Structure 1
């Protein structure tokens, strides 16, 4: 089984690839993990992991310049696909960050957190939302096996998913109000948080993905 971790020149890609290799080791998955920026290797892979970090306009520009956009759009149609952080935001139609069009796999937009957010005690919340936060599963999914309800995952983001179809929301987090943090449909699963920074919980998600047939 070939797993392509998509390299489009941005983000902590080697950390993601290292986490996927560790997930394969601990779960016994027979997987060849390839960090690649070549469209033909993405097309030849059995499963796709699409990480991202940084500004969405820069990420979309890198995809277009590299020719990976078409390969990713094709993979979304028929392969198990895991999007992470900006790699998940890019799956929506448009982001408020730079008014940037995405790949359009999910209907809806990506919106910036409002300024002036406060917690229950009235203290101001910083943007970006950064650190550990609980993830509340709203629908069952094969990738949640072994992950208790309200497990903590690690977030770094200023923008959040705003899907047009609430049925694609698989889990929420709160800052301070609930927001979608995992979305999915059919063969596609995408998280706002960073699996590679989420220790054992992140490795469990990746392990489940390696054994998932989509």
Structure 2
């Protein structure tokens, strides 16, 4: 049976590469899926899986989401009410938090308690490291802990671009970190929710494997 994957457009761009990555992953891993960019609540109510990408500022992405009539309510209904598998990517992952602290305080969706705060990475000499954290960096996690990481190995590298990081209230919601002047949240998960801080669509075969894992995931 063909699964319908809805990629929500909060107006922050980068959607074409996300859609292409999902289509490539589905093809490579023999998964029957149709991927569609959506801006309407009605489309979310038909989706089997929901993806929220985002790039840029937390507040701008939240405003973009709020500007889509009925979409936040439909997300609550489908994701929280009906348990539809959900994947947040980059700022889309950050929007799952209680609040973001970029350019003031902005409320998130409140699905995973925590806040998105400015990073202050320091090197061995306590000198500031460059921001944004940009480029390939290794993942640290416990193998077998979550299906989204099936087949991925600790130390595998993915592509990051960010200056703010998710600080979860419950450490168990953080299933993978990366190191940039100390541990930084890379993947969060709770129930039918998963979020990736990095650009999975730019992370090569490792990223495509994670997308396939998401498409196969039955939380």
- Name the TM-score, length of structure 1 as normaliser: 0.95
TM superposition shift of 1:10: 1.2
1:30-179 to structure 2, matched below 5 A, reads 30-67=32-69, 68-77=71-80, 78-98=83-103, 99-114=105-120, 117-120=121-124, 124-138=128-142, 140-179=145-184
TM superposition shift of 1:11: 2.4
Aligned partners of 1:60 and 1:90 also within 8 Å:
yes
3-state secondary structure, aligned to 1:153: strand
3-state secondary structure, aligned to 2:218: coil
TM superposition shift of 1:30: 0.9
TM superposition shift of 1:123: 5.5
3-state secondary structure, aligned to 2:65: helix
Decide which of 5, 8, 13 is 1:11's aligned counterpart. Answer: 13
Residue segments in structure 2 that go unaligned for 5+ positions in a row:
none
3-state secondary structure, aligned to 1:173: strand
What is the CA RMSD across the aligned residues, in angstroms?
1.3
Task: Please identify runs of 4+ aligned residues in structure 1 that moved more than 3 A.
Answer: 121-124
Aligned partners of 2:6 and 2:51 also within 8 Å:
yes
Residue segments in structure 1 that go unaligned for 5+ positions in a row:
none
Note if 1:192 corresponds to 2:192: no
Aligned partners of 2:10 and 2:62 also within 8 Å:
no
Give the number of equivalent residue pairs.
212
TM superposition shift of 1:8: 2.0
Note if 1:212 corresponds to 2:214: no
In structure 2, C-alpha distance between the alignment counterparts of 1:131 and 1:197, rounded to whole Å:
10
In structure 2, C-alpha distance between the alignment counterparts of 1:62 and 1:180, rounded to whole Å:
24
3-state secondary structure, aligned to 2:139: strand
In structure 1, C-alpha distance between the alignment counterparts of 2:164 and 2:126, rounded to whole Å:
22
TM superposition shift of 1:196: 0.5
3-state secondary structure, aligned to 2:59: helix
3-state secondary structure, aligned to 1:66: coil
3-state secondary structure, aligned to 1:60: helix
